[in-house]
C-alpha cells in the first residue's frame, strides 16, 4: 500500500463521529448562492487552515467560528491509497474537538463495509484497538475509538499497523499503514493551544 498526504475535509471524521457540530447535523446546508459573502475587510491575518507534514502523517489545523467563538481544531492524519489508485482507500485521523477533550482515533473506510462488524487496528505487540461504527455517509463510513496514553505509547513505539474490517461481500480486507512520522505529528498536536 502506498500512502499520501490527506486531502479529505479537515476534522470531518471527528465531527461526524462525535455528532457534536453543525457539520454532523442532518439539516440541509444552504447552497453557495444563498450564503452571504463576507466583506473582504473581515479577513483575519491568521491563516484559516494550516498543514505540516511529519513523515507519512500530516497535522491539519483549521480555524472555526462556533457561535461567535473562534477556535482552532487540529488533527494528525494519514491517507491510505492502493498502489496505482488515486482515490483514498482509507483515512486515519487522531484529534480532539476541544482543547481539554480526550483524543479520539477516527477511521474512514469506503461504504463497502458489513454491519454488524467492528474494524480493528493492530499494532505489533499489542491487543487490537477495536473501533465502533458511528455512521456512513456518501464519502465513507466512520468508526472511532478513544486514543488514550496507552494507545499513544503503543502507536509511537511501532513502525506499522494493520487495519482489518469486514466487507459488504462478507470477506475481510486488511492493509498495512505506516506509522512513520506519527510520534512527531502527535508531539506537534499536543503543543497546539
* Cis, bond preceding 116 (omega within 30 deg of 0): yes
Q: What is the pLDDT of residue 55?
A: 97
Residue 97 pLDDT exceeds 50: yes
Which phi and psi angles does 18 have, rounded to 5°? -75, -25
Instruction: Name the residue with cell 455528532.
Output: 19
93 has pLDDT over 80: yes
Tell whether the model's pLDDT for residue 7 goes beyond 50: no
- pLDDT for residue 169: 86
pLDDT of residue 125: 82
Among 148, 156, 109, 110, CA closest to 129: 148
- Can you tell me the mean pLDDT for 96-104? 88
List pLDDT tens digits, range 102-116.
Answer: 999 999 998 888 888
Rounded distance between C-alpha atoms, residue 119 and residue 166, angstroms: 7
Residue 37 — pLDDT band, cuts 50, 70, 90? low
Percentage of the chain modeled with pLDDT above 90? 48
Mean pLDDT for the stretch of residues 119-131? 93
The SS3 call for residue 186 is helix
Express each pLDDT in 67-83 by its tens digit: 777 788 999 999 998 88
Stated pTM of the model: 0.76
Mean pLDDT for 85-93 is: 89
- What pLDDT was estimated at residue 99? 77
Output the nine-digit C-alpha cell for 89. 482507500
Mean pLDDT of the chain: 80
The pLDDT of residue 48 is above 50:
yes
CATH class of 2-21+48-190: mainly beta
The pLDDT of residue 77: 97
Residue 26 pLDDT level (bands cut at 50, 70, 90): very low
Domain residue limits, the chain: 2-21+48-190
**Cα 187 versus chain centre, distance:** 17
In the predicted model, is pLDDT for residue 27 greater than 60? no
What's the grid cell of residue 133? Answer: 461504527
Task: Say how far apart CA 101 and CA 15 lie, in whole Å.
Answer: 13
Amino acid at each position: 500500500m502506498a500512502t499520501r498526504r490527506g486531502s479529505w475535509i479537515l476534522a470531518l471524521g471527528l465531527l461526524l463521529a462525535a455528532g457534536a457540530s453543525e457539520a454532523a447535523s442532518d439539516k440541509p446546508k444552504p447552497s453557495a448562492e444563498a450564503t452571504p459573502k463576507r466583506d473582504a475587510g473581515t479577513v483575519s491575518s491568521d491563516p484559516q487552515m494550516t498543514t505540516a507534514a511529519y513523515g507519512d502523517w500530516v497535522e491539519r489545523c483549521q480555524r472555526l467560528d462556533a457561535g461567535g467563538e473562534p477556535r482552532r481544531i487540529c488533527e494528525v492524519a494519514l491517507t491510505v491509497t492502493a498502489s496505482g489508485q488515486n482515490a483514498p482507500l482509507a483515512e486515519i485521523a487522531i484529534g480532539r474537538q476541544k482543547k481539554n477533550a480526550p483524543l479520539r482515533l477516527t477511521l474512514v473506510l469506503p461504504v463497502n463495509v458489513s454491519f454488524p462488524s467492528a474494524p480493528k487496528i493492530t499494532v505489533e505487540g499489542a491487543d487490537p484497538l477495536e473501533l465502533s461504527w458511528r455512521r456512513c455517509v456518501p464519502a465513507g463510513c466512520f468508526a472511532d475509538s478513544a486514543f488514550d496514553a496507552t494507545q499513544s505509547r503503543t502507536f509511537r513505539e511501532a513502525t506499522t499497523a494493520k487495519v482489518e474490517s469486514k466487507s459488504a461481500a462478507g470477506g475481510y480486507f486488511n492493509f498495512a499503514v505506516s506509522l512513520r512520522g506519527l510520534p512527531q505529528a502527535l508531539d506537534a498536536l499536543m503543543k497546539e493551544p
